[in-house]
Structure formats: C-alpha cells, structure tokens
Structure 1
Amino acid sequence: MTATQVIIRLLGDVALLLWGIHMVHSGVMRALGTELRQVLAVGLRNRFSAFISGVAVTTALQSSTATALLATSFASHGSVRLVPALALMLGANVGTAIIVQVFSFDVSLVFPVFIFLGLVAFRRGQRTRVRDLGRAAIGLGLMLLALHLLAETMRPVEGAPAVRELFAALTRDPLLNLAMAALLTWAAHSSVAVVLFIMSLAMAGIVSGPAALAMVLGANLGSALNPLIESIGGDPAKLRLAAGNLANRVIGCGAALPFLGVLSAWLASLGLGAGAVAASFHLGFNLVLAAAFIGLLPLVARALVALFPKTLKADDPSTPKYLSSSALDTPAVALANAVRETLRMSDVVEAMLRGSQDVFQSGDRKRVGEVGQMDNILDRLHAAIESYLSAVDGETLTEAETRRLSDILAYAINLEHVGDVVEKSLMKLAAKQIKNRLTLPPDALAEIDTMHQRLLEDLQLATAVFTGGDVGAARKLVEDKEFFRNGEREATERHFARVRDGKRESYEVSGVHLDILRDLKRISAHIIATAYPLLEQSEMLRQSRLT
C-alpha cells in the first residue's frame, strides 16, 4: 500500500469516526435531550453534583463540547452559578476520558450488532424515541467500525520504514506533538476521535510512548479551544466558563509535560499495551486535574469574574431600554415606560411574522432558525416587563392606572404567545415542509401570504388600540376574526375532499397547508384579543354569542 493510499484511508476512517460520534450525539439529544437537561438542572446546584452530572451527560453525548454548550445555555439565562458550571466541565473532561477507556478494549466484534439493532430500531420503531435511540446505536456501531478500520490501515504501515521515520521526525519534540494534536482536535471538534486516533498510532508503533502522551495532552488542550472560540463576541462574561476550562487544561499540560518519559515508562511497566497506556494516561490526567481544581473553583470563579466583567450591549434587542427603576415611585411614568417597552415587543412580533411570511415563500432553512431565535427576545422582554410592573406599588394606583397596568400585561402576554406559536409551531411546520420537500401549490402559498399580510395589518390596528384607545381600530380587529375563521373552514373542506379522493401526496401537502392556516388563526386570536377590553368598556360587545 502506497503512502497516498494510507493517507486517503486514514482520512476516510477518521471521517467515519467523526460521523459516528455525530450520530450518537444527535440521536441521544433527540431521544433524551429533555431528560439530560433536567439532569443538568438538578446537578448544577453544587460543584460536586455538577461534576457527577458532567461525567454522566458527556458519557451519553460522547462530547464534552456538547455538554459545555448545554451548560452555557443555562448560564445565559442566569440560572447557573459559575462554580458549578466549572465543576461540570471538569466532569465532562473525565466523561470523554471514560469513553476513550471503554473503546481501548477490543470490541470490534460488537459493531455489526450495534449497526443491525440500530437499523431495526430506526426503520421499525413505532415511537420517535425508539428511532432516535436506533440512530445513536448505528452511530456507536460506526465508531467501532472506524476503530477497526484504523487498526487495519495501520497494520501495513508498521513495516514501512519511510513512514516510521517521517513520524519519528515529526514527533521528536513534545511541544510540537502537543501543538499538532491540539490543532487536530480543534479542527475535528472531538477529543474522543483524536485520542482514539493517537491510540491507533501508538498501537502500530508509529509514535513512541512519550510522544503519544504529549499528543494526548494536546487533544485535551484542543478540546478547550472550541468552546472558547464559540464564546468570543458580545458580552465578555460569556467567556468565563470556556476560559476557566482552558486555564485548567493549560496548567495541567504545563505540569505534566516534563514527566512524560517517566509516566510512559511507569504505565508500560504495569503491563499495559501502547494504546492502553495512552487511554489510561488520558483518564488519569483528567482525574488528577479534577481532584486538584474542584476545591479551588470558588477562587478561580472570582478571578474569572474580575477578568471578564459582565457588560450589556446597547444594541441587544432583548435588553430593556425604558424600564427605569427610578420611575417606579411615579406610577404614571412607570406605566408609560412599560408601554414603550411593550411596543418593542410588538416590533419583534412584526419581524417574526415578516420572517415567517418569507420562509414559506423562499423555503430557506437558515431563515427558519433565525425567526425562531427571535422568540428568545420576546421571552426576555416579557419577563422584564412583568417584573417591572410587579414592582409598581399597587396601593398608589388609581382605578384607571390599575386598568392600564392590566391592559399592558395582557398585551405583552398575547405578544409573547404569538412568538411561541411562530417558533414552536409555524417554524416546525416550515422545517417539516423543507425537510420532506413538500411543495405547496401556488394558490396555497398565495393564501398563506394573504393571511400573513392581514396579520401584519391587524398588528398595526392592535398597536393603535393599545396606545391610543382607538375604538374604530378595535371594531375592525374583531371584524377580521371572520376572515381567519372562514379561511380555516374552507381549507378544512378542501383537505377532506382530497382525503376522500385517496391521493396521499395531495392530502399530505394539504394537511401541512391546513396546519399552517390553523396556526395563523391562533395568532390572529391573540392579536384580536387586544380589542376586547376597549370594546367592553365602550359597551360594543354582547355578553355571549349564544342565543
């Protein structure tokens, strides 16, 4: 086998390993994502339970980076203190080492079983969770297959003097070994894959024991670079967790580097093979670092807070602009501030509706995610407005101010619900349509576009009702309810006509169209609800539609 063939096969084997890790991660997240988040939420109460949670979640996800992102999502909402989050990362690093330790044993005969059982579960599973776990099992089988192929690729290389001399020259300097492995881990986004590759090199005798240990250190260092790079930009406080994890890795690598020769000889004297030496060193390194740092985490956290102070971006759309605490003693001013902030929510809802309208016309998958992310802005603004209004002294409010406070809260709640419908339902339907390549007919797209345009007009009317008490706008809003009700009824009749015709492709597309119209009707109900308090006060509403 030529050197070119060896390199091509190595690239393919490593790519298969990375894809297997991706499938395990995505399958487990889809099947058990909620449970894993609950484990983290419970475990992040103190540093010791956070450490154990980090080990458990990372072992399930096969990725310390994924665990770090989950922890960051908690931290971004302010629900996680820095000390437990740092302990979680210590546990995540140990979790990746445990994964490598398991794979250091000869389990190559198991991969056909995992792939077969995973395929059966994925193809025949009646429940979504079973199919997702089947996906994870296939990924695990592919990882084991990739390790088997790596070993097969390395076997002919053992007797190739030219390749051995090349690797000997490249791995002569421990710092160069560390840097190469760190860059490879950063590029691969997986320390598990890189350490397993290093084990294959060591077992083939291509790299010496000390060189393999130096590369393991580099893999640990490289795994800390990805979370740091992804945290760059915006609020410096987001860097705290990633920077603390990187500092932990750097100190550990600096302390271990001078003793690699001694450690390699000692581990080999225990009767371990070359690959097992690398795997055992990887586990021992992370256990020692965890034991050394877990007691110092409060000091580390204080240093990180001082180095990376929290700042608020002036242009952050989720940051309240008008909720001045100094105005709380003057209810009229406080209510005016809350109105201005609620109008910012209205602007976000308008942007979401325009984005939703664009998604169904363009079929842009990236746009789906962008529109869904706007709901986070609504949630934060809504929470800030509720908290602000709860701080207003209710005993000092006049009857009119009490009614105005209720109207503000009701409008903010309705806007927040509109955002939920767009993100959790409309964008899910858009993603389904794009994924399954369902093409809506021109008349359906035109109807969806018309309804979106009507919603945007109704949102303007609702704003006029909310800010100026425009009775005419309120009446026009309620009249528009018939437009959405009739549109849904007609679409339902057309859908069942297609079902009766028995054309599966036709009524599947029709079903998606109907679901979209129902969601648009739900949105209209939340917007139109703004008109009812004003019409009730004006005695322009019946008490009931019943006869």
Structure 2
Amino acid sequence: MGSSMSFSVTLLDLAGFAALLLWGIHMVQTGVMRALGPRLKVVLGRALRHPLQGFVAGAAVTTLLQSSTATALMVSGFTAAGLVALVPALAVMLGANIGTTLIVQVLSFDVTAVAPVAILAGLIMFRRGAGTGMRDLGRVMIGLGLVVLALSHLVDLLRPLEDAPSIRMLLGAVATVPLLDVLLAAVLTWAVHSSVAVVLITASLAAQGVVPPNAAIALVLGANLGSAIAPVVEAMGRDDAAARRLPMGNLINRILGVAVALALIEPIGRWMVEFQPDTSRVAVDFHTLFNLATALVFLPLLKPFARALEWLYPDREDAADPTRPRYLTAADRDMPVLALGAAAREALRLADALEEMLDEAAGALLTGDRRRIAETRGRDDIPDRLNREIRTYLAMLDPEDMSPADRRRVEEILAFSANMEQAADVVCGRLMTDAGKRLKRGIAFSSAQQAELDQLMERLKANIRLASSLFMTADPRAARLLALEKTAFRDSETLAARRHFDRLRQGLATLADASGLHIDIVRDLKLVNSHVVAAAAYPVLARTGELLDTRIAAGPEPADLS
C-alpha cells in the first residue's frame, strides 16, 4: 500500500515538474516574442533572401524562442503570403532544428545554481522595470529559471526509478521496439509542442539507466519527428497549397532522417557509446549530430526538394481570381523603385474593384434582388485582401534602401489603398443595408429620386477614375477638381434632407419613407466620395500647401479675459 502510494505521488511530482518545464519554456517564448517579435520578423524577412542566411537566422531565432515550432509557424506565414521563396524558408527550418540542439546542449549541463538567481533577477525586472521591454526581459529570466529548476527536480525524481521494478519493466518492454519509442516520443512532442522538453527528459532517463542508449536514441528521433507535426496540422486547416509546402517539407525532411537513423540504430548506438561513454550525454549529443547531419545532407538539395514540393502541392489559385495580387513579386523588393511601382499598380486594382462594386450596388438598389445584394456583399473580400497584401508587401521593404521621396510614396500608396478599401466597405455594408431595407419595406422611389441616385452614382464612378489618374500623375489641378466634388455631394445631401423634411411636415408618410431611405443612400454615397477624395486629392493638396487644417472660417481674435 505504502509503495503504491509512493509511486502515485512520484508520478504526480513528475507530471507537475514536467508542466513547470513547459510553462518555463512558454514564458521564455512569450517574453521574447513580446520584446522582439517585430524585430525577429524583420530579421527573418531580410535573411530569407538567401538559403545560408536563412539557415543561420533560423538557428538564432529558435534559440531565442526556445521552440522550432514557433519559428516554423512564423516562416510558414511568410511563405503562405508569397513574401518569401520556398528554398530559403526550408533553410530556415534546417537552422531552427539546429537551434533546438543548442538549447538542449546548454540546459543539459548542471546549471541548477543559476535557477534562483535568474528567477530573482527576473522578478525584480518584471516588478520594477520602467518599461515594457524590461518587464518582458524579466519574464524571459523567470522562464529560464523555471526551466532549470524543473529539470533539476526531474533528474532527482527519476534517479530512484532506476530500481523501481514496474517502471523498469514498462520501459524495458518499450525499449525493445525502437519504432514504438519513436512513435511514443513523437506523439508526446506534438502534444506538448516542445522537442526540447522531451529530449531533456530522455537524457534524464538515460542518465539514470532507466532506458538503454538505443532506446534513448529512438526517443530522440521521435522528438525530432514530433516537432514537425504541429505546423503540418496548422497548415492542413488552410485551403492554400503554398501554406502547406514548408511544413510538409520540414516533415518529409524529418521522416527521411528518422527512417535512415532508425534503420541504422544498432551501429549508431554502438558508435555513440564509443564516442560518448557518458550515458547522460548520449541523447543530447545524438540530438545535435542528427540535426547537423540532416542539415548537411539537405542544404545542397533544397532547390530540387522545393521543386518537388511545388509539384506535390501545386498552386490551385485561379489566376483570374480578383482577390489575388498580380504585381507584387518578391524579386522586386530589393529595388524600391520597382517595388513601389508594383504596389501602385496593385492599388489601382482597388479603384477598379470599387467601381465594379458600385455598378453591382446600383443594380441591387434598383432591383432589390436578394441575390444581387448577397453577391455585392460577397465582393468585400476583394479590397480587403488586396489592401492587406499591399500593406504586408510594403512593410517588408528595407527603409534604409529608400529615399525620402520613396518613403513619401509609400505613405501615399498606403493612404490610397486604405481609403479605397474603406469606401468599398461602405458600398458592401451600408449601401447593401439600404438595399435590404428597400426590399423589406417595399419602398419605391419616384422617377426624380431614382434619376438623382443614378446621377450621383455616375458622378462617383467618374471621381474614382479621376482619383486613379491623380494617384499616378499627382497633378494639382486634378486634385483641386476632385476636392471640389465634396461640395457637390454635400449640396445633394442638403437638398435631399430639405425635401425629406418637407414631406414629414406635410404628413406624407409613404413619401417620407422613400425620401428617408433616399437621403440615407445619398449620405452613404457622400461618404464613399469622401474616401475617394481623401485617397488621392488630399496627399497632393497637402504637398502643395493647399489643404487647410480646418473648414472653419477665420473669426475675430478672442477677447482678452485677463
């Protein structure tokens, strides 16, 4: 009874310190991401131009994050967005695998004395830190201290298990089937999202003689395999071939390496024992050698490997898909003059999409057809994605390579695309809500009201075309003409409001319903026009000094109340 109770408590202690280990790794990762997240993405973005740079950056970033899974998810996002090529992205993952070995090597030594110091220093920085950066660094220090503390206690708990008959029998049965060891460690690594933790626990088991060297090697292979599963599971949830290539490439890399090592596990085990007689170091050193070997083998083969992945996961995206960027290419990002031209051409597609949406909206407002209303609402994805892709593309440009004129052009492109997207949101949202109200209430516009709406629609489409031209030419004369269009739409709104009030005063409820909806539509069209003017006219007028800070007329000086 006593031994059973003691065994239960030991298992509970093991689970608790394993959880503490994972929580420490999580604290390190979140602290680094909060402190350096944007910078890490910039470093990766720059490094992803060349495979060797990507390899080094992957190792460095993973060492900071304490997780190759986090690096994989970050780089997968870059490749899915088309911002980086597949070859350097695959190189990053090879480097990330090396990064995990560096973490394991450091934590495998007896650094127990560091734990209290790290936790105390981290707590002081977290509680007394003047800025968020210092607090985030404190979080990292606390996490490192918890990792070291948890590992030392795990070793102490595992040491008595060497003589536990039930544990030795269980692990002995598992140790006789290397494939079972691999699968067990792979599932465990996928569950906890940390190959570092699994390898370190394996090293502790081997140090206490609980598992023989060959079983430890098989468990390490499983940890390497399991670290590649989580990004694949994440990618499978997306219907995008580009998002699946990198995670699957990393998984294939792991599977091939594990398969070869598993087939040669007997000679590898004998050689590792001769190479490293200290059983506590066999798992750790094999982890390093395995990842170095796979990196050396796969680095020269990345180009044909990438082509094979592209063949295995071909692009299924329709070239005519209106939401797909046509001009944003990664190759142009090294030359800002080309990149800005490509982004400007892509931004003009937003204006074309807005004009087409207005045509659809006019038809939906005229007919009140539910299908046309739904189709117009569904077109909202086009400007949303294009604007997002433009922002992401411009954010990847190196500011040091740009002149002041280039940076000003970046601001103009961002302003143009953002305002065009917001104008499209009004069309798909508020205008289609107006169309739904007309259908639901059975409202019929008079011929004069319908003619006025048609006229405003045509005028608005002409303004969109003028804005597109102005965006490319920056002609101050065209900017003044476009800015004056705000007055025309404001006058239309004032006239519509006056007519609606007259009908309310006359008690013409049926006509008032129509005029009320009419003024709502006029106001929404005025809002669309305001975004169009802000997209192209305001940047030019601001540059020439013709844009006033306020429309309020200058009045007399305020009286001196002193």
Q: One fold, TM greater than 0.5?
A: yes
1:235 aligns with 2:229: no
Structure 1 residue aligned with 2:489, among 474, 478, 487?
474
Q: 1:70-85 to 2 correspondence within 5 Å? A: 70-85=74-89
| Offset of residue 465 of structure 1 | 6.9
1:251 aligns with 2:256: yes
Of all paired residues, the percent bearing the same amino acid is: 44
The count of aligned residue pairs is 409
Q: In the alignment, which residue of structure 2 is the partner of 1:369?
A: none
Contact kept, 8 Å, 1:342 with 1:408, in 2: the verdict is: no
Secondary structure, in 3 states, of the residue corresponding to 1:220? helix
Structure 1 residue aligned with 2:123, among 119, 122, 125?
119
Contact kept, 8 Å, 2:22 with 2:192, in 1: the verdict is: yes
Q: 1:475 to 1:222 in 2, by over 3 A?
A: same
| Offset of residue 308 of structure 1 | 0.8
Q: In the alignment, which residue of structure 2 is the partner of 1:89?
A: 93
Contact kept, 8 Å, 2:276 with 2:282, in 1: the verdict is: no
| Offset of residue 284 of structure 1 | 0.3
| Offset of residue 468 of structure 1 | 7.6
Q: In the alignment, which residue of structure 1 is the partner of 2:305?
A: 300
Secondary structure, in 3 states, of the residue corresponding to 2:264? helix
| Offset of residue 416 of structure 1 | 4.7
Q: In the alignment, which residue of structure 2 is the partner of 1:189?
A: 193
Q: In the alignment, which residue of structure 1 is the partner of 2:419?
A: 414
Q: In the alignment, which residue of structure 2 is the partner of 1:180?
A: 184
User: Which one-letter code corresponds to 1:242 in the other structure?
Assistant: P
Gaps of 5+ in 2: 327-345, 359-382, 394-411, 435-452, 464-484, 495-525, 539-545, 555-562
User: Which one-letter code corresponds to 2:64 in the other structure?
Assistant: A
Secondary structure, in 3 states, of the residue corresponding to 1:107? coil
CA separation in 1, counterparts of 2:535 and 2:155? 73
Contact kept, 8 Å, 1:27 with 1:135, in 2: the verdict is: yes
CA separation in 1, counterparts of 2:233 and 2:384? 25
Q: In the alignment, which residue of structure 2 is the partner of 1:161?
A: 165
CA separation in 1, counterparts of 2:303 and 2:536? 55
Q: 1:375 to 1:533 in 2, by over 3 A?
A: closer
Secondary structure, in 3 states, of the residue corresponding to 1:234? coil
| Offset of residue 266 of structure 1 | 2.9
Q: In the alignment, which residue of structure 2 is the partner of 1:62?
A: 66
Contact kept, 8 Å, 2:158 with 2:208, in 1: the verdict is: yes
**Deviation string for 1:50-96 (max 9, x for gaps)?**
11111111001101111112212221232211111111111000110
1:141 aligns with 2:135: no
Q: TM-score, normalised by structure 1?
A: 0.65
Q: In the alignment, which residue of structure 1 is the partner of 2:316?
A: 311
Q: 1:174 to 1:410 in 2, by over 3 A?
A: closer
Q: In the alignment, which residue of structure 1 is the partner of 2:293?
A: 288
Q: In the alignment, which residue of structure 2 is the partner of 1:431?
A: none
> Radius of gyration: which is bigger?
2
- Range moving further from structure 2, 64-73 or 215-224: 64-73
Q: 1:471 to 1:85 in 2, by over 3 A?
A: closer
**Superposition RMSD on alpha carbons, in Å?**
4.2
Q: 1:342 to 1:417 in 2, by over 3 A?
A: closer
- Range moving further from structure 2, 254-263 or 299-308: 254-263
Q: 1:418-497 to 2 correspondence within 5 Å? A: 466-467=460-461, 474-475=489-490
**Deviation string for 1:168-219 (max 9, x for gaps)?**
0122100111111111111111111111111121122211110010010011
Contact kept, 8 Å, 2:325 with 2:386, in 1: the verdict is: no
Structure 2 residue aligned with 1:170, among 164, 171, 174?
174
CA separation in 1, counterparts of 2:535 and 2:93? 51
User: Which one-letter code corresponds to 1:291 in the other structure?
Assistant: L
Contact kept, 8 Å, 1:478 with 1:528, in 2: the verdict is: no
Q: In the alignment, which residue of structure 1 is the partner of 2:273?
A: 268
CA separation in 2, counterparts of 1:284 and 1:534? 58
Q: In the alignment, which residue of structure 1 is the partner of 2:214?
A: 210
Q: In the alignment, which residue of structure 2 is the partner of 1:10?
A: 14
Contact kept, 8 Å, 1:458 with 1:528, in 2: the verdict is: no
Gaps of 5+ in 1: 322-333, 347-373, 385-406, 423-451, 480-523
**Deviation string for 1:271-308 (max 9, x for gaps)?**
54323110000000000110111011111111111111
Contact kept, 8 Å, 1:474 with 1:531, in 2: the verdict is: no
CA separation in 1, counterparts of 2:299 and 2:486? 63
| Offset of residue 478 of structure 1 | 9.2
Contact kept, 8 Å, 1:185 with 1:222, in 2: the verdict is: yes
| Offset of residue 343 of structure 1 | 6.3
Q: 1:383 to 1:48 in 2, by over 3 A?
A: closer
Contact kept, 8 Å, 1:24 with 1:61, in 2: the verdict is: yes
1:342 aligns with 2:390: no
**Deviation string for 1:422-475 (max 9, x for gaps)?**
9xxxxxxxxxxxxxxxxxxxxxxxxxxxxx9xx958998998973487979831
User: Which one-letter code corresponds to 2:125 in the other structure?
Assistant: A
Q: In the alignment, which residue of structure 1 is the partner of 2:470?
A: none
User: Which one-letter code corresponds to 1:378 in the other structure?
Assistant: N
Structure 2 residue aligned with 1:28, among 9, 29, 32?
32
1:100 aligns with 2:109: no
Q: 1:506-517 to 2 correspondence within 5 Å? A: none
| Offset of residue 3 of structure 1 | 2.8
1:380 aligns with 2:374: no
Contact kept, 8 Å, 1:471 with 1:534, in 2: the verdict is: no
Q: In the alignment, which residue of structure 2 is the partner of 1:47?
A: 51
